[in-house]
Amino acid sequence: MCNFTDQLNNTIRLESSPCRIVSLVPSQTELLYDLGLGDRVVGITKFCIHPKEWFRTKSRVGGTKNIDIAKIKALQPDLIIGNKEENDFENIESLRGIAPIWMSDISNLSDAYAMIASLGKVTNSVAESLALIDDIKVGFNKLKNSQVVRSLRGKSVHYFIWHDPDMVAGKSTFIDAMLLECGLHNLTKEARYPEVDLSSNPDFIFLSSEPFPFKEKHLAYFKKHFSESKLVFVDGEMFSWYGSRLKKAPEYFESLLNELTN
C-alpha cells in the first residue's frame, strides 16, 4: 500500500500498482502508452487519438468535459487520471467513489516534468519516466541554444485557439510557456484564454489545429484584421500536449521558427 500526492495536493492511496487505468486526458493517455503500460489502460476519451491502436481498441468513456460515468464504473478501474483544466470539476467529483483519482495541473515545462515523474512512480514505471524526461530536456536545451531562437527572440505573437469568438492563449497557460521556449513574446497580457483585441499588430499570428481547426478558408478574415502580421498554421498538439509528445516538440518548433524567418 502506497500514498501518492497529485498536483492539486490531493493524496490517494493505492493497494498495489494499478492495472485498470482510465485516462481522461489525451496527452497523458499518450504518455501512459510511451511508459509501456499496454493492457493496464482500459479506458480513454474520444479525444485520445494517440496512439492510433489505442484509439481503435480501448473503451471510450466520453469527452474530456463530458464523461460517461456509467461506462467508467463498468470498467472497474483502480486508478483514474485527469487534469484540472481539461476535465470538468463536477465530473471528476462524481468519479471519486469509483476509484482513486490522480489529477495534474500544468502551466509550464517544470510542471510537465513533475507530472511525468509522478505518474512514473504511481504506475511503477520510474525508469521509463525518468529516461523520457531526460530526452525531453535534451531537446529543449538544444532548442534554447539554437540560432533561430536567438534571431527571433522578442518577436510578438497571438496564438489563436478559437474563432467566433476570436480567442487566444494568454498568460498562465502551457501554450504561453511553449511560446516562451521558442523565444517569442505572447502579446496577450490577460490570463487563460481571453477574446483578442483585433486592433493589435503582432509580428506573427499562429492559427492552431486545435481545439478549433483553422483552415485556409479563415485566412482572409485574419489578413483583414492583421494585415501587417505573418499568418502561420501551427500544430496545436505540439504547443499544448504536455506528455510524451514533448519529445517531438523541440524539433517541430525549430522547423516552425525557421519557416518564420523565410
Range of the domain at 208: 146-260
List per-residue pLDDT tens for the chain, 262 residues long. 799 999 999 999 999 999 999 999 999 999 999 999 999 999 999 999 999 999 999 999 999 999 999 999 999 999 999 999 999 999 999 999 999 999 999 999 999 999 999 999 999 999 999 999 999 999 999 999 999 999 999 999 999 999 999 999 999 999 999 999 999 999 999 999 999 988 888 999 999 999 999 999 999 999 999 999 999 999 999 999 999 999 999 999 999 999 999 8
Count of residues in the chain: 262
- Number of folded domains that form the chain: 2
Are 126 and 165 found together in one domain? no
Are 240 and 131 found together in one domain? no
- Give the global pTM: 0.95
Are 9 and 134 found together in one domain? yes
Q: Domain end: 138, 156, 171, which one?
A: 138
Q: Domain end: 88, 118, 138, which one?
A: 138
Are 116 and 201 found together in one domain? no
Enclosing H/E stretch for 216: none
Are 166 and 240 found together in one domain? yes
Are 82 and 166 found together in one domain? no
Are 130 and 7 found together in one domain? yes
Enclosing H/E stretch for 83: strand 79-83
Are 126 and 163 found together in one domain? no
Are 207 and 249 found together in one domain? yes
CA dihedral 141→145→146→147, nearest 10 degrees, is 170
In whole angstroms, what is the distance from residue 178 CA to residue 203 CA?
17
Q: Domain end: 138, 154, 170, which one?
A: 138
